[in-house]
Chains A and B, each alone.
Chain A
Amino acid sequence: MKLLYFAWLRTRIGRGEEDIEPPPEVATVADLLAWLAARGAGYAEALARPDLVRVAVNQEFAGPDTLVHAGDEIALFPPVTGG
């Protein structure tokens, strides 16, 4: 599973992307965020406000119940501010 981080999620976590293999009980986006938050201080800080974290699974906006699979590209980012 490839994780991508953008904007302040990237700076707080300290990297723009990483390959991870979460345990099998991580089935959904919500599971993944909870598992990530327990990985370290930077992750916990970045994910402390779930209302400010948007998730895309394979470049499509996803909700907490969206299923995640090995090989997925999963991006975490704040609400968008372009234009």
Chain B
Amino acid sequence: MAIRVQEEDFDVGAEIAALTRGRTEIGGVAVFIGLVRDFIEDGDAKAAAEIHGMTLEHYPGMTEKMLTRIEEEANRRWPIHASLIVHRVGRLDPGDNIVLVVCAAAHREDALQACSFLIDWLKTKAPFWKSEQTAQGEKWVKAKESDDALAARWEDG
């Protein structure tokens, strides 16, 4: 289990290799990678606004605490052998990596479900905020109800 919050980019291949090296009990690895999109999906503004960049802010201290707790919860619910969350902060450009979630288990279904759970809970519980740069100026991203609904799927597990 590991979590990291960093400004630097991450190398997905190297991260997975480090996580699984020598761990021959692992039979499946599920990965989610979040990237910076270049358009806004916000109701009427759809396709109207291009995103030139993004700045990610977080609450140092609480972020690490929440990510650790979410990861512990995933380990409680599924028999996962290794997991990793890396989340970037600071200024990012379209196409840049934002977040990496990796879950490794003996079987694919545990890895896939734990990975899905981790990103769903991260999106609604970890204190990060995105601000997008568009031609119309800088705009804080609004939280989506659809993200709350996805996170709620896992509430009573």
Q: Are A8 and B126 in contact (CB-based, < 8 A)?
A: no
Q: Are A79 and B128 in contact (CB-based, < 8 A)?
A: no
Q: Are B99 and A77 in contact (CB-based, < 8 A)?
A: no
Shortest distance between the CB of B55 and any CB in chain A (Å): 10
**Chain A residue at smallest Cβ distance from B138:** A11
Q: Are B122 and A82 in contact (CB-based, < 8 A)?
A: yes
Tier of interface size on chain A:
10 to 19
Tell me which of A56, A59, A82, A83 has the highest count of chain B C-beta atoms within 10 A of its own C-beta. Answer: A82
User: Is B140 interfacial (CB-CB < 8 Å)?
Assistant: yes
User: Is B143 interfacial (CB-CB < 8 Å)?
Assistant: yes
**Chain B residue at smallest Cβ distance from A54:** B127
Q: Which residues of A contact B37 (CB under 8 A)?
A: none
B56, B61, B140, B142: which contacts A82 (Cβ < 8 A)? B56
Tell me which of A8, A56, A77, A81 has the highest count of chain B C-beta atoms within 10 A of its own C-beta. Answer: A81
A7, A59, A75, A80: which contacts B125 (Cβ < 8 A)? A80
B59, B122, B131, B142: which contacts A83 (Cβ < 8 A)? B122
B interface, CB within 8 angstroms of A:
34, 56-59, 61-62, 65, 87, 98-99, 119, 122-131, 140-143, 147
A interface, CB within 8 angstroms of B:
4, 6-8, 56, 59, 75, 77-83
